């Protein structure tokens, strides 16, 4: 089979006008945000829809939290914490106790005690847990609609500590973790260690300079931003912007899978996410199959915007991933780079103004449909290891080194 290269303006169903409209729709961000958010911290949010749950008592009537819970027995009760409490023993909130923590009603850990919550839980966007390590608070299934890192005390410094503590707290329940429409500054990596949902409140317009409201995770140290660990399946990351403006940085924004001999991280979803200003790659699928990336915006990253390149220690293990609606612009190397990675599907990729190639592919069985323009090294590169690929690209200049592909150039 030899390459079949066509030059046509009208044959491919993608006009410049459609591309512009699509770009504007995509980079305007959006995506789901939690209802009931109250940045003032005065409204109770997060837990059961119940407004009346048995009798209502204040923990002050019993002296401390543990004593109050023991006194409840199996009676359905709303327990209100309105003043600071010290956890003096391992404590489990049972399903019959609806725990409501008002602003100022913090729970402080003493010694090595743990708090496990099985009953409905509600609190506002203010700190309620003090001194607890990452695994010291656990939420049972159905105990809250969403969990917020603000409950651990976000202060704008090393906010990954509170985010990772909140992630640990939902290991039993897989309750979604919600990030508010604000900036979170991180000094180390946010770890996704199991199936869970990390949900922002909008990615702005794909730029931290846009002034649009949304969730911004900002790297303040040269570290990997977010890691989905090998072994994780069906995790979901949505609706935020990951940014950095560190000079001389070298690290990536988001990495899926690790350099190991496992099956990596598969069937995970990234949706409505912007990644900009990384020293390394914007997003790197490093080890894992069947991941789905949708509505992704990568720009001004130090290497590639989106990289699919296996780091598996004994073979190639980045295959059959689906990328839908990618905008990748002004990255230092390639906009979209598919190297040691096969059988992927890319639909509606827009790659402009990148320092090397707009779209780079050097492995077999990849299907790519997109648009590339104004890239320094060329708009399309199909290397010698790219064969049996189906490429439908609007590109003004291309480098094609293997004849065993179907290539349709507009």
For the chain, domain boundaries: 1-33+181-410, 41-176
pTM over 0.95: no
Do 172 and 140 meet the contact criterion of CB atoms below 8 Å apart? Answer: yes
Query: To which H or E segment does residue 298 belong?
Result: strand 292-299
Q: Sign (positive/negative) of CA torsion 233, 194, 203, 225?
A: negative
CA 16 – CA 207 distance, rounded (Å): 23
Bigger pLDDT: 7 vs 403: 403
Per-residue pLDDT, averaged over 69-80, amounts to 94
For the segment 121-178, what is each residue's pLDDT rounded down to a tens digit? 999 999 999 999 889 999 999 999 999 999 999 999 999 999 999 999 999 899 999 9
For the segment 277-306, what is each residue's pLDDT rounded down to a tens digit? 999 999 999 999 999 999 999 999 999 999
Residue-wise burial string across 118-133, b where 16 or more C-beta atoms lie within 10 A, e elsewhere: bbbbbbbbbbbbebbe
For the segment 236-246, what is each residue's pLDDT rounded down to a tens digit? 999 999 999 99
Do 82 and 102 meet the contact criterion of CB atoms below 8 Å apart? Answer: yes
pLDDT band, residue 4 (cuts 50/70/90): very low
Cα dihedral 15→20→22→23 (10° resolution): 140
Do 370 and 348 meet the contact criterion of CB atoms below 8 Å apart? Answer: yes
As a whole number of Å, the CA-based R_g of the chain is: 24
pLDDT at 197 over 60: yes
Bigger pLDDT: 376 vs 38: 376
């Amino acid at each position: 089979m030899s390459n079949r290269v066509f030059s046509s303006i009208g044959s491919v169903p993608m006009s410049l006008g459609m591309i512009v409209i699509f770009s504007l729709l995509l980079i305007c961000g959006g995506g789901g945000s939690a209802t009931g958010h109250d940045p003032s911290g005065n409204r109770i949010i997060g837990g059961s829809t119940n407004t009346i749950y048995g009798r209502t008592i204040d923990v002050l009537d019993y002296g401390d939290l543990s004593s109050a819970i023991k006194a409840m027995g199996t009676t359905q009760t709303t327990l209100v914490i309105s003043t600071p409490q010290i956890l003096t023993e391992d404590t489990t909130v049972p399903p019959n106790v609806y725990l409501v923590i008002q602003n100022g009603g913090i729970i402080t850990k003493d010694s090595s005690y743990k708090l496990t919550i099985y009953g409905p839980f509600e609190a506002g966007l203010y700190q309620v847990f003090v001194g607890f390590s990452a695994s010291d608070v656990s939420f049972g299934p159905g105990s809250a609609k969403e969990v917020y890192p603000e409950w651990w005390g976000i202060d704008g410094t090393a906010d990954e500590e509170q985010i990772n503590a909140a992630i640990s707290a939902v290991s039993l329940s897989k309750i979604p973790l919600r990030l508010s429409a604000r900036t979170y500054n991180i000094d180390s990596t946010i770890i996704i260690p199991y199936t869970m949902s990390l949900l922002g409140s909008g990615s702005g317009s794909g730029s931290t300079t846009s002034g649009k409201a949304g969730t911004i995770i900002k790297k303040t140290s040269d570290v990997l931003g977010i890691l989905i660990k090998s072994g994780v399946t069906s995790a979901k990351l949505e609706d935020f912007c990951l940014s950095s403006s560190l000079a001389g940085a070298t690290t990536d924004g988001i990495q899926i899978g690790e350099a190991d001999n496992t099956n990596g991280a598969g069937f995970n979803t990234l949706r409505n996410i912007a990644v900009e200003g990384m020293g390394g790659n914007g997003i790197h699928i490093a080890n894992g199959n069947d991941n789905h990336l949708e509505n992704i915006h990568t720009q001004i990253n130090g290497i590639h915007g989106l990289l699919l390149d296996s780091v598996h220690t004994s073979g190639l293990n980045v295959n059959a991933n689906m990328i839908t609606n990618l905008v990748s612009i002004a990255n230092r190397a390639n906009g979209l780079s598919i190297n040691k990675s096969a059988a992927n599907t890319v639909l509606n990729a827009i790659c402009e103004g990148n320092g090397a190639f707009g779209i780079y592919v050097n492995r077999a069985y990849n299907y790519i449909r997109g648009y590339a323009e104004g890239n320094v090294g060329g708009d399309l590169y199909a290397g010698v290891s790219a064969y049996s690929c189906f490429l439908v690209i609007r590109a003004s200049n291309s480098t094609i080194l293997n004849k065993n592909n179907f290539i349709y150039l507009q």
